[in-house]
């Protein structure tokens, strides 16, 4: 089906669409933190790069990346319509993620990137491994 808007008008409309956040994935990670008694994290810390969670005292930044938007091929989902646009969009996101990871690492931070699919119960071992740097930290009382 052809778009009812011109390319320029569609671009203008899409630029106005803002993410409402990846709240459901963040809430799943908060549940993981809670069930594993992980404390000391902050959410929505205002720093360039906008990690989803930070552990300031250990200089750890955690990003929870949506599989489709950030280029994970776990589901092999590719829209048939406007395929070139979505390919470019994902490529830009991947490059941006690499730049932000490098920025944090240059600042002396450790970066953990968690894929949305890793928050599922069947992938718990992957999540446990990625977060072992945190779960092995001494617990605060």
Q: Is residue 14 part of a domain?
A: no
Q: Is residue 3 part of a domain?
A: no
b/e sequence 80-99, b meaning 16+ C-beta within 10 Å: eeeeeebeeebeebeeebee
Q: Is residue 40 part of a domain?
A: yes
Q: Is residue 28 part of a domain?
A: yes
Q: How far is CA 121 from CA 8, 117, 134, in A?
A: 43, 9, 19
pLDDT tens for each residue of 105-119: 999 999 999 999 999
Range of the domain at 37: 21-135
Number of domains in the chain: 1
Average pLDDT of the chain is: 86
Is the Cβ–Cβ distance between 61 and 111 less than 8 Å?
yes
Q: Is residue 52 part of a domain?
A: yes
Q: Is residue 76 part of a domain?
A: yes
Q: Is residue 11 part of a domain?
A: no
Q: What is the pTM of this model?
A: 0.78
pLDDT tens for each residue of 25-78: 899 999 999 999 999 999 988 888 899 999 999 999 999 998 888 888 887 677
Q: Is residue 25 part of a domain?
A: yes
CATH of the domain at 48: 3.40.960.10
């Amino acid at each position: 089906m052809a778009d009812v808007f011109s390319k320029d008008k569609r671009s203008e409309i899409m630029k106005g669409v803002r993410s409402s956040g990846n709240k459901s994935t963040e809430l799943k990670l908060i549940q993981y933190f809670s069930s594993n008694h992980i404390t000391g994290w902050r959410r929505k810390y205002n720093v360039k790069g906008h990690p989803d969670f930070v552990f300031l005292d250990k200089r750890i930044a955690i990003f929870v990346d949506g599989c489709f938007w950030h280029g994970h091929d776990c589901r092999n989902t590719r829209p048939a319509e406007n395929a070139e646009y979505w390919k470019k969009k994902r490529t830009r996101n991947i490059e941006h993620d690499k730049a932000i990871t490098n920025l944090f690492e240059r600042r002396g931070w450790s970066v953990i990137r968690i894929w949305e699919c890793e928050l599922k119960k069947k992938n718990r071992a992957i999540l446990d491994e990625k977060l072992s740097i945190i779960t092995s930290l001494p617990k605060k009382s």
